[in-house]
Chains A and B, each alone.
Chain A
Amino acid sequence: MTLSTLSRRSLLKAGAAGLAATALPFGFAKAQSPIVLGAVYVGPRDDFGWNQAHATAMAILKTVPGVTVIEEENVPETDAVSQSMESMINLDGANLILATSFGYYSPFVVDLAKKYPDVQFRHAAPLWKEGDPTNAGSYFCYLNQAHYVDGVAAGLSSPTGKLGFVAAKPIPSVLSNINSFLLGAKKTNPAATVQVIFTGEWSMPVREAEATNALIDAGCDVITCHVDGPKVIVETAEARGVKTCGHNASQAPLAPTGFITGAEYKWSTIYSLYADLLAKGEPLPNFIAGGYHNDMLQNSPYGAGATPEAIAAADAAIAGLKASEPIYVGPLKDNAGNVVIEGTMDNYDPVLDGMNYLLEGVVGSLT
């Protein structure tokens, strides 16, 4: 992930509004040529998580005249994805592929982009970098900002201030969500703590349920998570009468009494932008990323678990993020007592991408 940092940042700095205008030489030759868009998902489209978030947003592209969307789900991150994409290109005439899972990019998307220079490929993780095929590209959102909002609301919705976090793997993007959730909670309840359990896998429902129960047994009264499909976690917490914050897509229907809010991607912003460009016959940008300041994130509609104060504070936090208010305000210590952030960090500072610590207030360790 680190290799792409520089180019990503420079592109991001090009300005949120200017993203659409980033004119690149390769694209669709004619405005009127029909677009066949092939979408590939790693799991089921109704997983209450990552894939559902993409599939729901994909609906926007289906409304564009002249765009046909074909979809394939449960495609593993193996050679199978190459075969699926090639089949879309050759049998369905796809000329734009949206590959939505992290592991699809290298080598599969890269190799196919070289093999089919007339087909456009876009991939949902910040992996494209200068030197990669120009008919490939990346799109991504910084979800930690929405987890920060979750934290703000959780801090005011939790009677004890003890929050629980079920996390998949101790990699930077996950750690950033945990730390942002903590900082949000501290904003509204300075005594708040976040206890974290790593399951080690993106999708391991049994272990996720066990972790949820363990956190509740340890006294946590709000549970959130970063795993592929938060369904089991949210349902388990709801069954135990504990409040929840969601992740990836809205899990509100799963927790009618305890749901506070949830961190959601707003892929629809990117997909609408793509749709506009496609309708005009203009090229798609090679790199696009963002967060609240350019409308690429959202928080799930508040559930019954959110107190009125929490809702007000969360709304204020969202307004702050839209105005680029920073989340990481130093000096901040990790939970071993070392100062890890000296000054105030911009929400998109590349240093944050290398995060390898849990902040003071997080109970748990990386190993």
Chain B
Amino acid sequence: MTAEAVPASAILLRSGNVRVKKLAETIAIPLGALLASAVLFSIFLLLLGKSPIEFFALVWTGGFGSSFAIQQSLQRAAPLLLTGLAFAIPARIGLTIIGGEGALVLGGFAAAAIAIPLVSNSAPAFLTLPIMAIFAMSAGGIWIGLAGWLRHYRGVNETISSLLLSYIAIAIMNFFVEGMLRDPSSANKPSTMPIGDAYKVGNIPGLDVHWGLAAGILLAVVLYILMSRTTFGFAARMTGGNPRAALAQGLPVGFLIVSCCMIAGACAGLAGFFEVAAIHGQANASLVAGYGFTGILVAFLARHNPLVIIPVAVLFGAIAASGGVIQRRMAMPDATVLVLQGILFVVLLVSETFYGRFKIFQPGRTGDRT
């Protein structure tokens, strides 16, 4: 796949060639980063006197080795998909929003809170669940939207503000769950009133995975189209590239920033809705499970491409799912998987700097890079 292999005269082919090379670059660099991480982690394992081969075999067993393992990976991938999107969309407009965790918690809490009057008045499930989802997405959307608004209109660093807002969101949930909205029967673990099995979101038929996965995939596709194939997406990406130029072009930069943040918050809020409606059945401290933060890693590995987030979320789901098997079979501490994730993250960040550095992926003499 070198430049010499293509006849210089074939102009049509050349533009195709540019695309192929670009694609090859976007696949080869993350793949190389994954391999490099695997090598580094193997060295770490060898230092501990453990077998890397056994480790990666167990990651396979625990993540993909059986239909049960695949379903476990998919279960864990479902929230990561949505929180990955919550980081990726603002990243396209140049913002580093790390408050997905808070939006997820607040979304889950909003869903559980609005469910209380609906469930106690026996509203039908087909009405209750969409209302819960809308409340969850709105709560998350407003929360991250606030970070975007602060960024654009008050000049507040969105990374800091979204992280701090995240703590506030968790505190808000704790305040209500331990006070006004506490179900009296939840004596030792304060929780809101359970929605009950009749109101729970079920599993995708034939799978032991809830509908959150399907919603995440659908949303990833929709957001890919939005960001890559619409004027909104183009304007957003342009703003991300150079906000001043975008402003000079007359683009509604403030609107774009707040919208992208609200979309992000809505994604995380929806993840919270599924945590409540499909898993816990109520809001409590279990919602604070770290999906919001792992989502950041997922988005980074996917280079903020909504479509690529799908397989990456599954990969991270698999790594998480195999964590237990590794602990149990290799007698290694649970932090082992965190070490792998940490190595992955650092190597990926470094690999970002390699784009455009390898001659093999460059278009050659034509200079045609668009």
Interface residues of A (CB under 8 A from B): 1-2, 38, 44, 70-80, 83-84, 86-88, 90-92, 102-103, 107, 171
> In the assembly, what is the distance between CA of A107 and CA of B185, in Å?
13
Which residues 269-298 of B have a CB within 8 angstroms of A?
275, 279-281, 286, 289
Decide if A73 touches B321 in the complex (CB within 8 Å). Answer: no
Chain A residues within 8 Å of B275, by CB? 79
Closest 4 CB pairs of A and B: A78-B286, A70-B328, A90-B68, A74-B334
Query: Among B61, B68, B327, B328, which residue has the most Cβ atoms of chain A within 10 A?
Result: B328
Chain B residues within 8 Å of A78, by CB? 286, 289
Chain A residues within 8 Å of B182, by CB? none
9-residue interface stretch from B69-77, B123-131, B349-357, B360-368: B69-77
> In the assembly, what is the distance between CA of A317 and CA of B68, in Å?
53
Contacting residue for B327 out of A2, A73, A102, CB 8 A: A73
Q: List 15 A-B contacts (CB under 8 A).
A: A71-B327, A72-B328, A72-B334, A73-B334, A76-B289, A77-B189, A79-B280, A83-B75, A83-B321, A87-B321, A87-B325, A91-B61, A92-B325, A102-B188, A107-B280
User: How many residue-residue contacts, CB under 8 A, span A and B?
Assistant: 68
Per-residue CB proximity of B180-206 to A under 8 Å, as 1/0? 000000011100000000000000000
Per-residue CB proximity of B13-49 to A under 8 Å, as 1/0? 0000000000000000000000000000000000000
Contacting residue for B76 out of A1, A72, A83, A91, CB 8 A: A83
Chain A residues within 8 Å of B281, by CB? 107
Decide if A92 touches B328 in the complex (CB within 8 Å). Answer: yes
Chain B facing A: main interface SS: helix
Known: A72-B324, A72-B328. A91 touches B68 (CB 8 A): yes
| Whole-angstrom distance between the Cβ of A127 and the nearest chain B Cβ | 9
| Whole-angstrom distance between the Cβ of B279 and the nearest chain A Cβ | 5
B66 at the A interface (CB under 8 A): yes
CB nearest to A45 among chain B residues = B333
| Whole-angstrom distance between the Cβ of B99 and the nearest chain A Cβ | 20
Decide if A84 touches B324 in the complex (CB within 8 Å). Answer: yes
Query: Among A73, A87, A90, which residue has the most Cβ atoms of chain B within 10 A?
Result: A87
Decide if B69 touches A91 in the complex (CB within 8 Å). Answer: yes
Chain A residues within 8 Å of B325, by CB? 87, 91-92
> In the assembly, what is the distance between CA of A84 and CA of B321, in Å?
8
Which residues 230-256 of B have a CB within 8 angstroms of A?
none
CB nearest to B282 among chain A residues = A107
> In the assembly, what is the distance between CA of A84 and CA of B326, in Å?
11
Which residues 47-67 of B have a CB within 8 angstroms of A?
61-62, 65-66
Which residues 281-336 of B have a CB within 8 angstroms of A?
281, 286, 289, 321, 324-325, 327-329, 333-335
Contacting residue for A91 out of B62, B286, B333, CB 8 A: B62
Query: Among B275, B334, B335, which residue has the most Cβ atoms of chain A within 10 A?
Result: B334
With A73-B327, A79-B289 known, 18 other A-B pairs at CB within 8 A are A72-B327, A72-B328, A73-B333, A74-B333, A75-B324, A76-B286, A76-B289, A79-B279, A79-B286, A83-B72, A86-B68, A90-B66, A90-B69, A91-B68, A91-B69, A92-B325, A92-B329, A103-B189
> In the assembly, what is the distance between CA of A4 and CA of B327, in Å?
34
> In the assembly, what is the distance between CA of A296 and CA of B335, in Å?
33
CB nearest to B75 among chain A residues = A83
> In the assembly, what is the distance between CA of A38 and CA of B329, in Å?
12
Decide if A1 touches B289 in the complex (CB within 8 Å). Answer: no
Decide if B289 touches A80 in the complex (CB within 8 Å). Answer: yes
CB nearest to A90 among chain B residues = B68
Decide if B324 touches A83 in the complex (CB within 8 Å). Answer: yes
Decide if B279 touches A1 in the complex (CB within 8 Å). Answer: no
| Whole-angstrom distance between the Cβ of A79 and the nearest chain B Cβ | 5
Chain A residues within 8 Å of B334, by CB? 72-75
| Whole-angstrom distance between the Cβ of A83 and the nearest chain B Cβ | 6
> In the assembly, what is the distance between CA of A79 and CA of B280, in Å?
8
Known: A72-B328, A74-B334. A1 touches B68 (CB 8 A): no
